[in-house]
Structure 1
C-alpha cells in the first residue's frame, strides 16, 4: 500500500555529526547527515545536508553541501547549493559558488563569488542586455 523508497535518506534526518574543539582531522569527510565542525580539518568536506563551521573551527580544503553557516576560518572552494551564511567572526579565503549568500557585518572574505541559478545550476555570465517589451 505504502512504499518506503526513501528509507535510507530519512534515517539521517535530524542527526548531526560533530567534530569537537581540539580535534584535528587530515583527510576527506563524506556525510549524508548534517555536520558541525568546531575542530580543524585539513581536507575536503562533502555533506548532503547543512554544514556549520564553528567560531574556533578551521578548514583548509573544499566544502560541498546544501546549506552552510560559517563562523570560523575556511581556506578553499565553498560550493553551497542553497544558502551560505557568513557570520561576523568568519574569515574566508578562496572561491564561493553559492545559490544564495548572506553576510553579517564584520565577516571577512577574500574570495571570488559565483552565484548559482534556480535548482543549483551555474549561471552563465555574458554581455547580453535585457530587452524591454
Structure 2
C-alpha cells in the first residue's frame, strides 16, 4: 500500500545466450538506401542500396538484394549481391546466390548452384599499390605483349 512501486519495462528484456546480444533485420518488402554501421549481425531479406560496415556477420537471405559495399567479419549470401565485399574471416556463398563484383576474404565456401562472377582475392590484407605503379605495370605488360612500342 505505501511501498515503492515497481515499474514494468515497456519492452521485453534481452538475455545474452552465448551469441551476440542482438541483430538487425531488413525484412522482405522493405528497401533501405544509405550507409549503415552495425556492431551486431545484420540480416537482409529486403533491398539494401548503399554501404554496410558490420563488426559481426552479414546475411543476405534468399529474397535479399544488396547493391553497394560491405565490410564485415563473416558473410552468408543466399540472395543477390552486386558491388564490393570484404570479409575479414569467412564468406559463404549458398546455392541460389548470385554474386557480382569484387570480393576479398580470408576463407571462401561456394556451394554448387550459385553464381560467383567476381574478381576475388584471398588471404591477408591486399598490398596497396599506387596508381603510378599500376600504370607502369600495365605499360610494361603491353610492351611485353607487343601491343605498345617502347619510346
Q: Indicate whether the TM-score tops 0.5.
A: yes
Relative contact order higher in (CA < 8 Å, ≥ 6 apart): 1
Runs of 4+ in 1 over 6 A off after TM superposition: none
Q: Is the 8 A contact 1:115 1:123 kept in 2?
A: no
**TM-score between both structures, scaled by the size of structure 2:** 0.70
Question: 2:85 maps to which residue?
Answer: 78
Partner-residue secondary structure (3-state), 2:21? coil
**TM-score between both structures, scaled by the size of structure 1:** 0.79
The partner residue of 2:29 within 22, 25, 31 is 22
**Deviation per CA, 1:71-95, whole angstroms, max 9, x where unpaired?**
0001000100000000011001101
Q: Distance in 1 between matches of 2:95 and 2:41?
A: 22
Partner-residue secondary structure (3-state), 2:119? strand
The partner residue of 1:122 within 123, 126, 137 is 126
Residue correspondence of structure 1 range 1-133 to structure 2 within 5 A? 13-117=20-124, 121-122=125-126
Which of 1 and 2 has greater Rg?
2
Q: Distance in 2 between matches of 1:49 and 1:97?
A: 16
Q: Distance in 1 between matches of 2:122 and 2:126?
A: 7
**Deviation per CA, 1:27-82, whole angstroms, max 9, x where unpaired?**
11110111111000110111000000000100110111000000000100010000
Q: Runs of 5+ in structure 1 lacking a partner?
A: 1-9, 125-133
Question: 1:130 maps to which residue?
Answer: none
Q: Is the 8 A contact 1:59 1:75 kept in 2?
A: yes
TM superposition shift of 1:100: 0.4
> How many residue pairs end up in the alignment?
111
